[in-house]
């Protein structure tokens, strides 16, 4: 997906060993469709060469306020006016101090100071030693640049180039890309609290076997990411899947349907929207053996008796908060055939205002999907597309159905 198609990004590099990550970040931004113009300080050029960044961005690098390519020798004006965003990655402690004090004695700080604040956001990815990060002067400067309108991204924790370990590492390029993409997404759910379930459940038969399904969790994780991008506070209750947690999302890992119900019940009181994407096992063994069940030669599993699992969606949809309109519930139906018929029946049976249907065998484990949106009056198909693109469309649909009083002006 080219999430940044047509966006003009000024990528500013300041002095720090994290410049090696900036090369890959530049590559990711270009692959996402952005037009990247790199601006480097003299200190940055001690860590990575302008030739490298020019090769990756496809554009000549700017590194001097006296660059004669600008007809009026005002490169800082042209660069800042043409940008959709300025991203400083890495942003050193020294450069943060420059920003806090409004310094403008070289091209990158000039460009940041000259940007139209109301139109061109400044995103800062700090990178420094743990003691420098924790120093009161740095934290004071960060508070000032935030107050001046900059967006300060998180830092990572772990081993540092100096040999120490702690906070202050620049985020990884993939994390930075996710934050940059999120910045440009419409903030349709600002102030909303969204609860999402994702993945399968696993119902143990014995210590080594269980009942589960083919759900990969990708659709639910995409919805959690899209809700966060839209400005919501998101809790993701995930069955047993191996997927990275979306940026900014609180994750609760569970195994069985009863575990998932308990986690959802605990989180529902603080939620405004519930999206039940998980493929919850309908059945579980009535009794779980403490030891592996051995074959006895009969050709039958005589010890396996099934009982129905709790219905998580129906339980939350019939809660006091859902019935009073405080909790907007969205269900999912993974079917194998007759999608529209089964989805309509399931929506009525569950008692939810919106149900999303898909054909399970065509989506499990895939990176794309197609969806059928079913409400009390209509059905609408979302054609096959990447799951994140569909998730963003679904979030827009949900936002459109919430009472206007609950949404940002």
Q: What mean pLDDT comes out for the span 223-230?
A: 98
Q: What mean pLDDT comes out for the span 343-354?
A: 92
Residue 407 has pLDDT above 80, yes or no: no
Q: How confident is the model at residue 360 (pLDDT cuts 50, 70, 90)?
A: confident
Q: For residues 158 and 169, is the Cβ–Cβ distance under 8 A?
A: yes
Residue 303 has pLDDT above 70, yes or no: no
- Computed on alpha carbons and rounded to an integer, the radius of gyration of the chain in Å comes to 25
Which string of b and e fits 97-118 if b means at least 16 CB within 10 Å? bbbbeeebebbbbbbbbbbeee
Least confident of 87-96, 265-274, 300-309: 300-309
Q: Which residue has the higher pLDDT, 289 or 184?
A: 184
User: Which whole-number Å values give the CA distances from 142 to 111, 112, 137, 352, in the listed order?
Assistant: 19, 15, 9, 45
Residue 409: the pLDDT is 59
CATH no., domain 8-184:
3.40.50.1950
Q: Could you read off the pLDDT of 243-263 as tens digits, one per residue? A: 999 999 999 999 999 999 999
What sign does the dihedral 118-389-247-127 (CA atoms) show? negative
> Among 15, 39, 377, 396, which Cα is nearest to 223's?
396
Least confident of 51-55, 255-259, 303-307: 303-307
Residue 403: the pLDDT is 84
User: Beta strands 379-386 and 368-374: pairing type?
Assistant: antiparallel
The reply to whether 91 belongs to the active site is no
Q: What mean pLDDT comes out for the span 66-71?
A: 80
Nearest-angstrom CA–CA distance, 79 and 62 = 10
CATH number for domain 193-406, candidates 3.40.50.720, 3.40.50.10300, 1.50.10.10, 3.30.450.20: 3.40.50.10300
* Maximum average pLDDT range among 215-219, 339-343, 404-408: 215-219
Whether 8-184 and 193-406 share one fold: the answer is yes
Catalytic pick from 91, 112, 162, 264? Answer: 162
Tokens of 358: 């898909």
Nearest-angstrom CA–CA distance, 395 and 158 = 34
Q: How crowded is residue 121: how many other Cβ atoms within 10 Å of its Cβ?
A: 18
Residue 46 has pLDDT above 90, yes or no: yes
Domain ranges of the chain: 8-184, 193-406
Residues 52, 53, 55: CA angle, nearest 5 degrees: 65
Q: For residues 91 and 14, is the Cβ–Cβ distance under 8 A?
A: yes
Place of tokens 């080219």: 2
Q: What mean pLDDT comes out for the span 133-140?
A: 98
Nearest-angstrom CA–CA distance, 320 and 317 = 9
Q: For residues 369 and 385, is the Cβ–Cβ distance under 8 A?
A: yes
Place of tokens 């400067």: 141
Least confident of 185-194, 221-230, 348-357, 400-409: 400-409
> Among 95, 97, 165, 99, which Cα is nearest to 129's?
165
Residue 234: the pLDDT is 98
> Among 81, 75, 122, which Cα is nearest to 102's?
122
Residue 332 has pLDDT above 70, yes or no: yes
Nearest-angstrom CA–CA distance, 250 and 401 = 24
Q: Could you read off the pLDDT of 9-43 as tens digits, one per residue? A: 999 999 999 999 999 999 999 999 999 999 999 99
Residues 197, 203, 205: CA angle, nearest 5 degrees: 170
Residue 184 has pLDDT above 90, yes or no: yes
Residue 273 pairs with which residues in a beta bridge?
A: 194, 328
Q: For residues 22 and 50, is the Cβ–Cβ distance under 8 A?
A: no
> Among 363, 376, 374, 377, which Cα is nearest to 397's?
374
Residue 44 has pLDDT above 80, yes or no: yes
Q: How confident is the model at residue 337 (pLDDT cuts 50, 70, 90)?
A: confident
For 282-402, strand residue ranges (E) read 283-285, 306-308, 328-335, 354-359, 368-374, 379-386
Q: For residues 372 and 383, is the Cβ–Cβ distance under 8 A?
A: no
Question: What is the signed CA dihedral for 216, 33, 177, 367, rounded to 10 degrees?
Answer: 0
Q: What is the mean pLDDT of the chain?
A: 93
Residue 406 has pLDDT above 80, yes or no: no
């Amino acid at each position: 997906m080219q999430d940044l198609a047509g966006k003009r990004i000024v990528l500013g590099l300041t002095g720090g060993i994290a410049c090696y990550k900036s090369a890959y970040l530049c590559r990711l931004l270009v692959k996402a469709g952005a037009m990247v113009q790199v601006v480097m300080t003299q200190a940055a050029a001690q860590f990575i060469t302008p030739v490298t960044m020019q090769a990756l961005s496809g554009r000549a690098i700017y590194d001097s306020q006296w660059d004669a390519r600008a007809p009026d020798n005002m490169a800082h004006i042209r660069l800042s006016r043409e940008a959709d965003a300025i991203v400083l990655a890495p942003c050193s402690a020294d450069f943060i101090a420059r920003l806090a004090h409004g310094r403008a004695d070289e091209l990158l700080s000039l460009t940041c100071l000259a940007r139209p604040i109301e139109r061109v956001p400044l995103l800062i990815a700090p990178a420094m030693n743990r003691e420098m990060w924790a120093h009161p002067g740095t934290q004071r400067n960060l508070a000032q640049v935030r107050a001046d309108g900059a967006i300060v991204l998180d830092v990572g924790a772990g081993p540092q180039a100096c040999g120490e370990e702690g906070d202050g590492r620049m985020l990884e390029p993939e994390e930075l890309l996710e934050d940059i993409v999120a910045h440009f997404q419409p903030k349709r759910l600002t102030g909303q609290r969204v609860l999402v379930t994702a993945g399968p459940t696993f119902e143990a038969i014995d210590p080594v076997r269980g009942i589960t399904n083919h759900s990969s969790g990708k659709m639910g994780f995409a919805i959690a990411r899209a809700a966060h991008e839209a400005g919501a506070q998101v809790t993701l209750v995930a069955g047993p899947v191996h997927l990275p947690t979306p940026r900014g999302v609180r994750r609760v890992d569970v195994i069985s349907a009863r575990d998932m119900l308990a986690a959802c019940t605990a989180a529902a009181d603080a939620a405004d929207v519930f999206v039940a994407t998980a493929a919850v096992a309908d059945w579980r063994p009535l009794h779980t053996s403490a030891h592996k069940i051995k074959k006895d030669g009969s050709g039958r599993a005589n010890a396996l008796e099934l009982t129905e699992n709790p219905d998580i969606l129906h339980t939350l949809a019939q809660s006091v908060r859902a019935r009073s309109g405080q909790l907007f519930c969205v269900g999912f139906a993974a079917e194998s055939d007759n999608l529209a018929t089964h989805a309509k029946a399931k929506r009525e049976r569950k008692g939810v205002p919106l149900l999303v249907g898909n054909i399970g065998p065509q989506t499990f484990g895939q990176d794309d999907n197609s969806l059928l949106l079913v409400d009390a009056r209509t059905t609408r198909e979302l054609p096959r597309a990447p799951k994140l693109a569909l998730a963003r469309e679904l979030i827009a649909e949900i936002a459109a159905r919430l009472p206007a009083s609950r949404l940002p002006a």
